[in-house]
Structure 1
Amino acid sequence: MPESAAKKVVVVGGGILGASTAAHLARAGATVTLVTAGALADGASGRSIAWLNSSGDRSREYHHLRLMGIDRYRTWASQHPDGRAYLRFDGAVKWAAPGETLRDTFAFERAAGYDAVWVDRSDIARVAPHVNPEAVADEGAIFNAGEGWVDLPAIVAALAEQARRAGARVLEHAGETHVATEHGRVTGVILGNGDILGADSVVLATGPAAPAELARLGVNVPNSSPAAFVLFTEPTDVPIRTVLNTPRVAVRPAADGGLVLDADWAEQTVVVAGDRTFSVPETSVEGLLQEASRVLLGSPELKVARIGAGWKPIPGDGNPVAGAVPQVPGLYVLFTHSGATLGLILGELLTEEILTGGVPPALRTFRADRFTSSQLSTPVPTGAWAAVRQD
């Protein structure tokens, strides 16, 4: 075994990014411990719309990374036939709000080689027979046939099991965990009970809590993570397959036969109390249910199964933060929006960096040291990445 593959690594964070990294590292021969404050996927990964896409206008580098992410999910699907229960590529449909247009978005996607087809409202049933045509914009909609969705808790559990089979230790309910250093270099982590796990390298994959831990170590990574919530409905007879990204609600199928809903306007109503708990106004919940019913054929009655609220991970400049933290040798970070789309590929690429010392070309744009000392973090309270206990 190469000397690099014998490294002892602690991965902090039990969501898609942490589980993916732990599985990739363990399969490559590293000695791995995956540590999470609570249960696996009880943070942002447990309350994500989990739309797999590179939709819209973004930088070439970010678009390329997201396409790589989608590719790895397709590989997973081919290697795990049972995964069809929690990973699907049935496409996605989006349309503009009144007075707005998606024509420029369509042109950008086509110019980037992205699979995008313009669909007239009268023809929407051809790609999304479950959609109410009257809800679609007069100009029509964009259909992205290559997009899909994933149930993150299911794939996190599968990745954690892969890591275990490869020899990794998975430590749940470890409490608030901090990076341990000596003379400025990583030496391991300190668990919530005070126990210390030694390591050559530590991966910080704690979602919106990552910038606060980095700030404790003197590293500034801007944090724009907002409070947000996702609504899970009870199983429904609505035969929805494609993801819908509409002006007032996003809708995707769930593995249990229900739907998953969110919206920008709704997340802006979340109330964060002084004790770091989250509450969602009943009017927002009812509004999401009504908006989802309106865009679906037959206006079905939808009922709430559960609500997940918490911080939505978004770095200050909107782009991923991935790779080594130069100020703290031995420390690596994964902090990004679109963790669902990027989960598998970031775990793979970070494993390559940790074990070889080389920076994968796809990560060069997204280093933590791109931020200057003048860009101060906006800390999220430690522990805020745990999901609200409404489920």
Structure 2
Amino acid sequence: MHVAVIGRGILGASIAYHLALKDVNVTVIDVHNNNSNATSNNFGCLNVYNYEPDHYFFLRQSGIEYQVRLASEINAIDFVHQVGTLRWAQGAGTHARLVEGICRLEKHGVPFELFEPGDVAKYLEPGLNPGRVVGPVVRVPLEGWSDGSRFSRCLLDAGGSHIANVSAEVLRYATTRRGVSIDLKSATIQADKLILAAGIGIPALMQHHGVKIPVNAEPGVMFISTSAAQGPLSHVIYAESLHFRSHSPTQVIGGHHGAFVPNGYNAEQEAALTAQLVFELYPSIKAGTAEPVLGIRPVPEDGFPVLGWLDERRRTYVATTHSGITLGALLGRLCASEILGAEDELLKHYRPSRFNKV
């Protein structure tokens, strides 16, 4: 069997790797020379906190656990950092949300620890100043971060001779009696099956099917500090709408998911404001500037993965998700299994048909 995968991010790479394990020949096609934009320019979250419903929480939890195991198999252990996270609230509203998250961890049996705010700098992060904190600080050892770009390359390398990489733009594709024909600028590839794992490129590719798969391209501005910290952070920090972690032994990377950025700010201004707020919480970093990093995240309309066949003859399969770093390794294994004929119960909630019901 020959399978073509459009998209070289962590999800596409994981599908290719798991197919290669079954002696399937895979051609991975991407317009970028290395990884997809979303995988490369990403904070790298490995997290489960406060996600719902239960089936999605379980999928994320399983995704982290599987990625940690897989890393040892593909020589990628240095790129998966299960260092734990610290979270706290600074207001009554966010404290209620924090408590909801604690209850959800208990429900699913995910270990966690609660600390007094004053103990954080004393025992966990000496350079951190959480400021005003309402309630406890929550530590979740399961969580952390992953270098998705390097992890993806390890997946593709581990596939060996079964995986061929092609850097080219897909012009069009069409299903045939024998499989799928994919037209590139300088060549045409014939495959038995085609996997669409192109992230924000999914809507354009779906025009060939007349099927609606709404995937939004959501920009995210992060920063990497150009100043040196006195020591690396041991955890990934989630402080209200801010999140940050060590990027190197002397640098910090951070971002936000709040609405504190004034309208009209450009990427440089947004990164500088986010960095300023982070530096207030992490004063051990020396004064400096922040280099902006812009990522574009594929986010399905309802926030959940989209996984499944697009045609009755099972020639074309779509695979896209937000939180690809948390979910990509596991979803790649599950999707590969389905592509080879074994449907998986874990994926029943995420079928593309949910967007096309009359």
Normalization by structure 1: what TM-score? Answer: 0.82
Q: Distance in 2 between matches of 1:35 and 1:267?
A: 39
Please state how far the C-alpha of 1:132 moved relative to its aligned partner.
2.7
Correspondent of 1:57 among 51, 57, 61: 51
Structure 1 position 123 matched with structure 2 position 109: no
Which of 344, 348, 353 in structure 1 is aligned with 2:329?
344
- Segment drifting more, 126-135 vs 111-120: 126-135
Q: Distance in 1 between matches of 2:328 and 2:29?
A: 17
1:262-282, CA deviations, whole angstroms, 9 ceiling, x for partnerless residues?
1124797798xxxxxxx9433
Task: Name the CA distance, whole Å, in 2 between partners of 1:156 and 1:269.
Answer: 35
Change (3 A) 1:237 1:151: farther
Letter in 2 for 1:333: V
Q: 1:188 to 1:136 in 2, by over 3 A?
A: farther
- Determine the C-alpha separation between the residues in 2 that align with 1:269 and 1:41: 32
CA distance in 1, matches of 2:212, 2:333: 25
Offset of residue 177 of structure 1: 4.5
Q: Which residue of 1 aligns with 2:34?
A: 40
- Structure 2 residue corresponding to 1:358, chosen from 324, 342, 353: 342
1:71-82, aligned counterparts within 5 Å? 71-79=65-73
Superimposed CA distance per residue, residues 200-222 of structure 1 (whole angstroms, 9 cap, x where no aligned partner): 11111111221232144211122
Structure 1 equivalent of residue 314 of structure 2: 329
Contact 1:151 1:255 in 2 (8 A): no
Following superposition, the deviation at residue 350 of structure 1 comes to 0.9
Q: Is the aligned partner of 1:240 residue 2:237?
A: no
Which residue pairs with 1:370 in the alignment?
A: 354
Alpha-carbon separation, structure 2, partners of 1:80 and 1:365: 29
Give 1:257 shift. Answer: 4.9
Q: Verify the 8 A CA contact 2:83 2:235 in the aligned structure 1.
A: yes
On the 8 A contact 2:117/2:136 being kept in 1, the answer is: yes
Give the structure 2 partner of residue 386 of structure 1: none
Which amino acid in the other structure matches residue 43 of structure 1? N
Q: Does 1:202 align with 2:194?
A: yes
- Relative distance call for 1:258 and 1:372 in structure 2 (3 A) is same
Deviations 1:21-54 (A, max 9, x none): 1111112111110111112224100111111111
Q: Displacement, 1:118?
A: 2.3
2:137 corresponds to which letter in structure 1? A
Is the partner of 1:135 in helix, strand or coil? coil
From 69, 91, 94, give the equivalent of 2:84.
Answer: 91
Q: What do you get for the CA RMSD once the two structures are aligned?
A: 2.6
Asked whether 1:170 is paired with 2:162, we answer no
The residue matched to 2:287 in structure 1 has which SS?
coil
Tell me how far 1:309 sits from its aligned partner. Answer: 2.0
Judged with a 3 Å threshold, the aligned counterparts in structure 2 of structure 1 residues 351 and 135 are, in CA distance, closer, same or farther, namely: same
Deviation at 1:180, TM superposition (A): 2.4
1:296 is matched with: 282
SS in 2 for 1:221: coil
Indicate the SS of the match to 1:312.
strand
Q: Which sections of structure 2, spanning at least 5 residues, go unmatched?
A: none
Three-state SS of the structure 1 residue aligned to 2:213 is coil
Deviation at 1:299, TM superposition (A): 4.8
Matched, 1:228 2:213: no
Amino acid at match of 1:24: H
SS in 2 for 1:333: strand
2:210 is aligned with 1:218: yes
Give 2:6's aligned residue.
Answer: 12
- Extract unaligned runs of 5+ from structure 1: 1-6, 272-278, 375-391
Q: Could you list the per-position Cα deviations for residues 161-198 of structure 1 after superposition, in whole angstroms to 9, with x for gaps in the alignment?
A: 112x14211112x0245332247x8513221x152101
Any idea what SS the aligned residue of 1:68 has?
helix
Q: Deviations over 1:269-299 (max 9, x none)?
A: 798xxxxxxx943321111111121121435
Instruction: Please identify, of 143-152 and 291-300, the stretch whose mean Cα deviation from structure 2 is larger.
Output: 291-300
Q: Deviations over 1:63-82 (max 9, x none)?
A: 12112211112213444666
Q: Shift in Å at residue 252 of structure 1?
A: 2.1
Identify the residue that residue 66 of structure 1 maps to in structure 2.
60
Residue 105 of structure 1 and its aligned partner are, at CA, apart by: 1.8
1:249 matched residue in structure 2 = 242
CA displacement at 1:112 relative to structure 2: 2.0
- The CA distance in 2 between the partners of 1:51 and 1:127, in whole Å, is 23
Q: Do the aligned residues in 1 keep the contact of 2:74 with 2:154 (CA within 8 Å)?
A: no
Equivalent residue letter for 2:356: T
Moved more, 199-208 or 112-121: 112-121
Secondary structure of the structure 2 residue equivalent to 1:139: strand
Q: CA deviation at 1:310?
A: 4.2
Tell me the distance in 2 between the aligned counterparts of 1:255 and 1:218.
Answer: 46
Please state if 1:158 is matched with 2:144: no
Pick closer, same or farther for the CA change 1:199–1:252 going to 2, 3 Å.
Answer: same
How much does 1:98 deviate?
A: 2.5
Which letter does structure 1 place at the counterpart of 2:11?
A: L
Tell me, yes or no, if the aligned pair for 2:75 and 2:154 is still in contact at 8 Å: no
CA drift of 1:351 comes to: 0.9
Q: TM-score, normalised by structure 2?
A: 0.90
The separation in 1 between residues aligned to 2:45 and 2:37, in whole angstroms, is 17
Aligned to 1:145: 141
Q: Percent sequence identity over matched residues?
A: 24
